[in-house]
Structure 1
Amino acid sequence: MNKRPAAVAATALALALTLAACSDSGDSEESTDKSAAAGTTVSHIHGLGVDPTDQRLYVATHEGVYTPDAKGEPELVGDSKDDFMGFTVAGAKTFYASGHPTSGGNKGLIKSDDAGKTWKSLSLSGESDFHALDFAHGTVYGYDSTNGLVRTTKDGVSWKDGARLEALDIAVSPQNPGLVLATTADGVARSADGGKAFVKGEKPVMAFLSWAAKDALYGIDTSGGVHRSSDGGSTWKKVATVPGGQPQALTAVGAERILAATQTGVYESKDGGKTFAKRLAVVSSGGH
């Protein structure tokens, strides 16, 4: 997949739901001001994660990273109200992210070693915006939406460029560092060489993927339907529909624990998607 035809690009952007428009850093200041005025509203969610040290939920949004307080209300982590796009928890209090400063531009790859309170720039500042990040096998896997590339790095500084394709999300096998999946307009595309090349996507079409255990690959479709694969994406079984319609993010914390963000909230399942409970409310602004 080394070309980016306009038709495929347009379809991929449509599949991206509201995320594509969210990547326009030009409206960041306006959204940040609204969020500050509202105080505790959260919208435009781009990533979810759980810190393994205390099992605290973290929500990466268009207006900063939030966590539920004692009352379950969203509390800003640190001082940054930048637009966080790609986001992943790599370990205890260790997060990687990307996105846009409120002043505009691209953050490249940034890292926090204190659970999101402060961030440092690692590489590609001003050059790249990663819409999807995954950490596995001691490696950061990213989808660089600015350049349409799957890229990998072990030290956060030196990058290896992989395939060029139109994608929304990526997921890496927890067993095999070479097996990478990507959500495309055609369906789930597969790479067997660490993202250097992908075969054409196959249905079902998913918006987001998350792969936390060998036999528990999860995908969420554009209507909020949650699907599970026990064979690495060869076959899928629909297990549930998350409340709130169109999805904004999906993270599997374990084989049975799933976090999903939709238009109305962040929902959590501890039974493989059979039931979901709301963890955080989302206020939809109607447009991005």
Structure 2
Amino acid sequence: MKTHRAVQVATTAVALGLTLAACSGDDGDTDSSAAVTTVSHIHGLGLDPSDQRLYVATHEGIYTPDAKGDPTLVGDSKDDFMGFTVARSKTFYASGHPASGADGPGNKGLIKSTDAGRTWKSLSLSGKSDFHALDYAHGTVYGYDSTGGLLRTSKDGTTWKDGATFQALDIAVDPDDADLVLATTAGGVARSTDGGKTFTKGKQPVMAFLSWKVKSALYGIDTSGRVSRSTDGGATWEKLATVPGGQPQALTAVDAERILAATRNGVYESKDGGKTFAKRLAVESSGGH
């Protein structure tokens, strides 16, 4: 049994490592064609609280479903949006890289939109930072900067406090405690109780992505697409449904019962706390996050 567990841990660590590697913004496969009617290579999901509209941050811009449910480009940017989070009505934060052939530094640092993604303004760290994970909670931007493996926080999006340095894929902040931050690592879910200054070693189970909108409903999705829920801040987990489509690309909890998850073939939604999922948007199969 001990040998089996060791093999299992090693396997999940390798799988998460592959997901981390696939998250690089330097893969050079940006699609610069004139008309993109399918989305792939998703990095983030969000619902605008004012109208419940779905936004999908991808390798080729941000998309939203039209009246027929087909993806339409928001604004005119086809940049590679890596980290992405909806902070409040019409207000989004993101990071990433310029589209192929576009001007500007390779890393966008932190950018902000106040018109639901139609236009973007550079706030800070342009040319320096590439946030692969962003969360907004307690009036603070929490970001995992992949350029140095650094957890950073900012109240205004311009002045930053540096935290722990470690390898992670995603982060989630306790909605009731600004100091409790979780991160997905190859060893499992790591925990910080000091706002991201230090983290414990990862603890099983291994998750690819986390989302924590309500205190009693922390959601995680593993590298196979299996969703789990924790009601005690990650101490214990209840396994739920497996989202169709294999390897996950993003996870966002809207409230205690409503979850959005992106996999290799679609954006799926659950309205029953992760027991069942229905497709919201078709996705063209891609090689990873």
TM-score by length of 2: 0.91
Residue of structure 2 in register with 1:87 after alignment: 84
Q: CA deviation at 1:32?
A: 2.2
Residue of structure 1 in register with 2:127 after alignment: 126
- Structure 2 residue matching 1:280: 3-state secondary structure: strand
- Structure 2 residue matching 1:140: 3-state secondary structure: strand
Preserved CA contact (<8 Å) 1:256 1:271? yes
Distance in 1, matches of 2:279 and 2:202, equals 32
Matches within 5 A, 1:127-276: 127-276=128-277
Q: CA deviation at 1:273?
A: 0.8
Is structure 2 residue 61 aligned with structure 1 residue 64? yes
234-243 or 103-112: bigger deviation: 103-112
Distance in 1, matches of 2:143 and 2:240, equals 28
Is structure 2 residue 41 aligned with structure 1 residue 40? no
Distance in 1, matches of 2:214 and 2:288, equals 35
Distance in 2, matches of 1:12 and 1:97, equals 27
Is structure 2 residue 25 aligned with structure 1 residue 52? no
* Count of residue pairs the alignment pairs up: 274
Letter paired with 2:55: Y
Q: CA deviation at 1:26?
A: 5.5
After superposition, the CA RMSD in angstroms is 1.6
Q: CA deviation at 1:12?
A: 6.8
Change in Cα spacing, 1:98 to 1:225, as seen in structure 2 (3 Å) is same
- Structure 2 residue matching 1:15: 3-state secondary structure: helix
Change in Cα spacing, 1:121 to 1:12, as seen in structure 2 (3 Å) is farther
Residue of structure 1 in register with 2:70 after alignment: 73
Provide Cα deviations, 1:107-142, integer angstroms capped at 9, x if missing partner. Answer: 000000000000000000000000000000000000
Preserved CA contact (<8 Å) 2:41 2:288? no
Distance in 1, matches of 2:18 and 2:255, equals 26
Distance in 2, matches of 1:218 and 1:285, equals 24
Q: CA deviation at 1:275?
A: 1.3
Extract unaligned runs of 5+ from structure 1: 1-10
Change in Cα spacing, 1:23 to 1:52, as seen in structure 2 (3 Å) is same
Letter paired with 1:216: A
Distance in 2, matches of 1:263 and 1:78, equals 24
- Structure 2 residue matching 1:31: 3-state secondary structure: coil
Preserved CA contact (<8 Å) 1:12 1:167? no
Q: CA deviation at 1:287?
A: 7.0
Q: CA deviation at 1:147?
A: 1.0
Letter paired with 2:84: F
Q: CA deviation at 1:14?
A: 4.8
Letter paired with 2:74: V
Distance in 1, matches of 2:270 and 2:114, equals 27
Preserved CA contact (<8 Å) 2:154 2:161? yes
Distance in 2, matches of 1:136 and 1:13, equals 31
Letter paired with 2:123: L
Preserved CA contact (<8 Å) 2:219 2:228? yes
Change in Cα spacing, 1:158 to 1:13, as seen in structure 2 (3 Å) is farther
TM-score by length of 1: 0.91
Preserved CA contact (<8 Å) 1:22 1:44? no
- Structure 1 residue matching 2:22: 3-state secondary structure: helix
Distance in 1, matches of 2:288 and 2:247, equals 13
Letter paired with 1:189: A
Distance in 2, matches of 1:132 and 1:287, equals 15
Q: CA deviation at 1:31?
A: 2.4
Provide Cα deviations, 1:60-112, integer angstroms capped at 9, x if missing partner. Answer: 00000000000110000000000000000000100000010114610000000
Give the fraction of aligned pairs with identical amino acids, expressed as a percent. Answer: 79
- Structure 2 residue matching 1:121: 3-state secondary structure: strand
Q: CA deviation at 1:21?
A: 3.4
Residue of structure 2 in register with 1:117 after alignment: 118
Preserved CA contact (<8 Å) 1:17 1:246? no
- Structure 2 residue matching 1:20: 3-state secondary structure: helix
Provide Cα deviations, 1:177-216, integer angstroms capped at 9, x if missing partner. Answer: 0000000000000000000000101000000000010100
Q: CA deviation at 1:15?
A: 1.1
Provide Cα deviations, 1:48-71, integer angstroms capped at 9, x if missing partner. Answer: 000000000000000000000001
